[in-house]
Amino acid sequence: MPYEFKLTRRVEFAETDMAGIVHFSNFFRMMEATEHAFFRSLGFSIHSAAEGATVGWPRVSAACDYQRPLRFEEEVEIQLLVAEVRSRSIRYQFVFRQPGTDVEIARGNVAAVCATWIASRESSSPSRSPGHSRSDHRRPRRVVETRRKLRLTPCPLSPILNQP
């Protein structure tokens, strides 16, 4: 099941520090942007909502090791490799290279779980608003809370990525 996806992009000024070198945190943004492009290439979105539920992919692990600096206006090729697909999670490896060469700039990995947040409206007993006096004869307001329940759900990519 070796799935791979490549994205080439140019380093933006806002991604660099005062020396013109990409700040370490921006490698994580580039990994995420590559993951989003990978999902779109398969006809999916990393975030979707339907019927009161929101499906997302929260990260449970992320790391990046840096071999050499990446500078303003340089191009970088980001290779996403699907390392593992489970029923409710996915793990990627990323390799950052100078395009057209084997010169490695950085190497990272990300693990994410497929989760669904379900909104439920729960009504509580009537309550009086702060500063409400007993002499005020208006009906107390009913407080309605919206709570979100998190549930791990089956990975929609499993059937696609687990094909021989």
C-alpha to C-alpha distances, 123 to 53, 103, 129, 147, 164, nearest whole angstrom: 19, 59, 16, 11, 49
Domains in the chain, CATH or no CATH each: 3-118+150-161 (3.10.129.10)
Angle (CA) 107-109-114 rounded to 5° is 155
pLDDT at 54: 86
What's the predicted TM-score (pTM) here?
A: 0.76
Cα–Cα distance measured from residue 107 to residue 91, given in angstroms and rounded to the nearest whole number:
14
Which one is predicted more confidently, 157 or 125? 157
Angle (CA) 132-134-138 rounded to 5° is 70
Cα–Cα distance measured from residue 56 to residue 149, given in angstroms and rounded to the nearest whole number:
13
pLDDT in tens, 44-101: 888 888 777 888 899 999 999 999 999 999 999 999 999 998 888 899 999 999 999 9
pLDDT at 139: 58
pLDDT at 60: 94
pLDDT at 28: 98
CA 43, 115, 113, 162 torsion-angle sign: negative
